[in-house]
Structure 1
Amino acid sequence: MVDAPDRRGESTRREYLTYGGTAIGGALLAGCLGDGDDGERSGDSTTATPDPGETTDPAVTETEGDDVESGPYTVSLSPTGAVTFDSPPESVFTRLTHHAGMAFALGRGDDVNAMHAPDYYHALWNQFTPRLPGVSVDWQGLYSSWQPDKETLFELDSDVHLADPAWLVQLGNWGRDDLDEIAENVGPWFGNSLSDRHQSPPAGWEYEYYSLWEQFGIVADAFRERERYEALATVHDELLARIERGVQSVDEQPTAAMALPQDVDQIYVYKVNDPGFLTAHTRPFEVGDAFGDEFASGDAVDIEGLLAADPDVLFGVGGMHPDTDMAAVRENLLDHPVGRELTAVQDDRVHAQGARYQGPVLNLFQLEMTAKQLYPDEFGEWPRYASGPYPELPAEAQLFDRERVASIVRGEFEG
Structure 2
Amino acid sequence: MSDNTSPTRREVLRYGGAAGVVGLLAGCSGGGSGSATNADTQTAGDGDATDGTATDTDAASDTSAAESYSVSMSPMGEVTFESPPETVFTRLTHHADMAFALGRGDTVTAMHAPDYYSGLWNQFVERLPDVSLDWTGLYSSWEPSKEKLYELDNDVHLADPAWIAGQENWDREDFEEIATNVSPWFGNSLSDRHAEPAPGWQEGYQYYTLWEQFELVAEAFQEQARYEALAAIHDEMRSTIDANLPPESERPSAVMLAAADIEEIYAYTLDNPGFLTAHTRPFGARDAFEGSIETNTVVDFEALLEADPDVILYLGGFEPNTSLPGRREAFKSDPVGSEITAVQNDRFYPQGARYQGPILHLFQLEMTAKQLYPEQFGEWPTYTEGPYPEIPAEEQLFDRQRVADIINGEFEA
What is the TM-score normalised by the length of structure 1? Answer: 0.88
Tell me the equivalent position of 1:157. 153
Question: Per-residue CA shift, 1:174-197, capped at 9, x if unaligned?
Answer: 111110111011100000000000
Displacement of 1:121? 0.4
Give the distance between the partners of 1:300 and 1:245, measured in 2 at CA: 35
- 1:400 and 2:407 correspond: no
Give the distance between the partners of 2:310 and 2:14, measured in 1 at CA: 51
Give the distance between the partners of 1:311 and 1:19, measured in 2 at CA: 52
Q: 1:167 aligns with which of 158, 163, 168?
A: 163
Give the distance between the partners of 1:393 and 1:262, measured in 2 at CA: 29
State the one-letter code of the partner of 1:397.
E
Give the distance between the partners of 1:102 and 1:95, measured in 2 at CA: 12
- 1:134 and 2:134 correspond: no
Range that drifts further, 216-225 or 239-248: 239-248
Q: State how many pairs are aligned.
A: 385
Displacement of 1:18? 5.0
Q: Secondary structure of 2:79's partner?
A: strand
Give the distance between the partners of 1:380 and 1:17, measured in 2 at CA: 53
Q: Is this contact kept in 2: 1:262–1:329, CA < 8 A?
A: no
State the one-letter code of the partner of 1:180.
E
State the one-letter code of the partner of 1:117.
A
Give the distance between the partners of 1:242 and 1:165, measured in 2 at CA: 37
Range that drifts further, 302-311 or 128-137: 302-311
Tell me the equivalent position of 2:49. 56
Question: Per-residue CA shift, 1:150-185, capped at 9, x if unaligned?
Answer: 111001010000000111111121111110111011
State the one-letter code of the partner of 2:98.
M
Q: 1:75 aligns with which of 71, 74, 79?
A: 71
Give the distance between the partners of 1:261 and 1:182, measured in 2 at CA: 36
Tell me the equivalent position of 1:103. 99
Tell me the equivalent position of 1:62. none
Give the distance between the partners of 1:323 and 1:150, measured in 2 at CA: 32
Tell me the equivalent position of 2:58. none
Q: Secondary structure of 2:250's partner?
A: coil
Q: Is this contact kept in 2: 1:91–1:113, CA < 8 A?
A: yes
Tell me the equivalent position of 2:240. 242
Question: Per-residue CA shift, 1:15-39, capped at 9, x if unaligned?
Answer: 1465528613996259xxxxxxxxx
Q: Secondary structure of 1:382's partner?
A: coil
Tell me the equivalent position of 1:299. 297
Tell me the equivalent position of 1:390. 388
Q: Secondary structure of 1:148's partner?
A: coil
Question: Per-residue CA shift, 1:198-228, capped at 9, x if unaligned?
Answer: 0123475220100000100000000000011
Question: Per-residue CA shift, 1:123-149, capped at 9, x if unaligned?
Answer: 001001110011111100000000001
**Superposition RMSD in Å:** 2.2
Displacement of 1:260? 3.2
Tell me the equivalent position of 1:188. 184
Give the distance between the partners of 1:359 and 1:108, measured in 2 at CA: 13
Q: Is this contact kept in 1: 2:34–2:77, CA < 8 A?
A: no
Tell me the equivalent position of 2:29. none
Give the distance between the partners of 1:148 and 1:291, measured in 2 at CA: 36
State the one-letter code of the partner of 2:164.
L
Q: Structure 1 regions of 5+ residues with no counterpart?
A: 1-6, 31-47, 60-66
Q: Structure 2 regions of 5+ residues with no counterpart?
A: 18-22, 27-32, 53-60
Tell me the equivalent position of 1:356. 354
Q: Is this contact kept in 2: 1:58–1:215, CA < 8 A?
A: no
State the one-letter code of the partner of 1:99.
H
Q: Is this contact kept in 2: 1:265–1:303, CA < 8 A?
A: no
Give the distance between the partners of 2:159 and 2:298, measured in 1 at CA: 28
State the one-letter code of the partner of 2:76.
T
Tell me the equivalent position of 1:178. 174
Q: Is this contact kept in 1: 2:193–2:272, CA < 8 A?
A: yes
Q: Is this contact kept in 1: 2:248–2:284, CA < 8 A?
A: no
Give the distance between the partners of 2:97 and 2:287, measured in 1 at CA: 27
Give the distance between the partners of 1:17 and 1:128, measured in 2 at CA: 40
Tell me the equivalent position of 1:39. none
Q: Is this contact kept in 2: 1:314–1:350, CA < 8 A?
A: yes
